Structure 1
Amino acid sequence: MPLVSGQAIETVAIGQHHARGSLANPVAGTRTDITSVVGRFAVYADGTAPADGDTTPLLLIHSINAAGSAYEVKPLYDYYAQSRPVYAIDLPGFGQSDRDDREYTARMMTDAVHAAVEQIRRLHGEQPIDALALSLGSEFLARAATETPQAFRSLGFISPTGFEGRARDARTPGTRGRSWIIDVLRVKLWDRGFFKMLTARPVIRKFLEKAWGSKDIDEPMVDYDYATTHQPGARHAPYYFVAGFMFSTDILHIYEQLRLPVWMAHGVRGDFIDYRHKSRVAGRSNWTIVRFDTGAFPHFEALEQVVSSYNQFLAKVPPSDFGKPTIAQSA
């Protein structure tokens, strides 16, 4: 088991489903509930590989916002389920995962990625996997990959955070978390009312229009975002997001430490187009950076272009040593 921050990531219960009102699963396939050091979270699985196809599992990780869930990676999940084993996660505090009143941090989300990857690899003979994350989920994936690089064959980031604004290049791990913001958000006078206002349909729609840079958004996402944000405990994790506890202060150094093949994609429209610090990794032999004439969800707007680019990248990824005999075995 990988050691993370002095703690072993240990899966202690698998397979028991927990109902969450009338909320539908965000993607198709089989849902497994994993209980680990980060609590209970949901992982979805689908897809089979043809005999001559790619048997490497692909893990998809959603972004963080008031309405985050595996629905945000649904087009990629559905596409790759046709040709390979594919998995998607509801990070702690979101979707079908537990939404307890507790601290939600970048460390917790990274540990959830570790636990999901460990379980997927256990099911597939411990082979390295491909993993692709959206927005802030990219930071958790990148950190997980620096901590257990042997668990991954390649990494993909769509609209990754960490390249915008003031450089987050501290030399030691930390977050931008501010406890006083949590205290203010939790004042009983407006605690629930503020989140209810934040997740009203018109507000959700406005956020997605800003992310798309267009009014031509994915309408089913509006519906699912509204449903998932109106579940018990839905406000807890987003409040820690707003308070900065999921934004790592050292993320640029984490990105620079990556030695695995990395595919990074981003759009050019909307409110999330600041990648001023991508020069820190652009030009490195293991980084492939592409742009699409879209907003922050290019896989919803231009799926064929996105998967074509990603597939070309994967075709150039060196095969892992998984399954090859060692020198001792060959002797």
Structure 2
Amino acid sequence: MSVTNSETFGNSNVQLHPRSSLANPVGGTRTDIATRVGRLATYSLGFAASEETTRPLLLIHSINAAGSAFEIKTLYDHYARSRPVHAVDLPGFGQSDRDDREYTARMMTDAVHAAITRVQELHGPEPIDVMALSLSCEFAARAATEKPEAFHTLGLISPTGFEGKARDERVPTTRGQGWLLGTLRFKLWDEGFFRLLTARPVIRKFLEKAWGSKKIDESMLDYDYHTTHQPGARYAPYYFVAGYMFSKDILSIYESLRLPVWMAYGTRGDFVDYRHKSRVAGRSNWTIQQFDAGALMHFEILDQVVRSYDQFLALSERADAPVVTA
């Protein structure tokens, strides 16, 4: 992995990334990294590597037509006041590459690995805290099973995989449907359909469903509109809609996690089906918290969300502490 077109901590040998019409989704330092899954835009705020006093936190946005690191902005801004915090735009979203290629669960999991590697290049090889949102919880969980030594804890906000028919196959296949992808990508309506899908009223309706309320975050609506009107914005979302990012074995992945896991979910909106959470509830390494909020609860009740997460982190640090005997 190499750094390209970036702003870094005092590295005068790298050029600044070129300006675009799309603002960065979060503040701090943006660094573009060249990886096996293309160029990824990463963001850093809080303590620099030479000043770090606490464990780094990596935040990962969800997947939808308008996904970007803006979806974790409230958490990013909050934790930057007390610890090193990082975020990433996943392939096909935000300021990362939006090439016309296959976007799969495997690609997204590899992007999580690349983002973690970037954080560890800045702060050292110690395990880090990772928190993901919605479908990206599946990618983060798989990454944690593949490289558990890189993870200290895993936070899951509104995770997918616990809804509907149990996805507990033992092989890492996806729900990808070629016929649906081909239909979405048919040249006669390819771009026109995406323009309809990302019109402001449609994005507003989606956010209202996520919130379970008409009282949404208006700044997210604005950013969602702008990010979906960038070149190549339709490619990754079409693979998402066609099922290529949903893993059929995700319940098995969740069950195999051995690190401390914090899971938060809401009671309002269209994303409230967690019928299979019993598969992990009650396990000593899982902490599950329900909130009276929508799927993007950290925009509604940030204080409650971070209080619960901080309590979880404190317990995990206490469990890590060596036992001192006389």
TM-score normalised by the chain length of structure 2:
0.93
CA distance in 1, matches of 2:201, 2:269: 17
Which amino acid is the alignment partner of residue 224 of structure 2? D
CA distance in 2, matches of 1:232, 1:108: 20
2:5–2:17 contact (8 Å) kept in structure 1: no
The answer to whether the aligner puts 1:302 opposite 2:301 as a matched pair is yes
Which amino acid is the alignment partner of residue 47 of structure 1? G
1:260–1:286 contact (8 Å) kept in structure 2: yes
Shift of 1:123: 1.3
CA distance in 2, matches of 1:320, 1:53: 22
Q: What are the equivalent positions in structure 2 for 1:173-192 lying under 5 Å apart?
A: 173-192=172-191
Shift of 1:19: 3.8
CA distance in 2, matches of 1:234, 1:97: 10
Residue among 2, 17, 31 paired with 1:12: 2
The equivalent residue for 1:110 is: 109
Which amino acid is the alignment partner of residue 288 of structure 2? I
Aligned length: 313
SS at match of 1:21: coil
CA distance in 2, matches of 1:305, 1:92: 31
CA distance in 2, matches of 1:69, 1:58: 17
Structure 1 stretches lacking a partner, 5+ long: 1-10, 325-331
In structure 2, relative to structure 1, the CA distance for the partners of 1:15 and 1:316 (3 Å cut) is: farther
The answer to whether the aligner puts 1:314 opposite 2:313 as a matched pair is yes
Determine what percentage of the aligned residue pairs are the same residue: 71
The equivalent residue for 1:69 is: 68
Which amino acid is the alignment partner of residue 271 of structure 1? D
The equivalent residue for 2:120 is: 121
The equivalent residue for 1:282 is: 281
The equivalent residue for 2:217 is: 218
Shift of 1:14: 3.7
Which amino acid is the alignment partner of residue 68 of structure 2? S
1:21–1:231 contact (8 Å) kept in structure 2: no
In structure 2, relative to structure 1, the CA distance for the partners of 1:15 and 1:127 (3 Å cut) is: farther
The equivalent residue for 1:55 is: 54
1:20–1:231 contact (8 Å) kept in structure 2: no
The equivalent residue for 2:195 is: 196
SS at match of 2:317: coil
Structure 2 stretches lacking a partner, 5+ long: 7-15
The equivalent residue for 1:229 is: 228
The CA deviation string for residues 87-128 of structure 1, in whole angstroms up to 9 with x for no partner, is 011000000000000000000000000011011112111111
TM-score normalised by the chain length of structure 1:
0.91
Shift of 1:180: 1.2
CA distance in 2, matches of 1:60, 1:320: 23
Shift of 1:204: 0.2
Shift of 1:21: 3.2
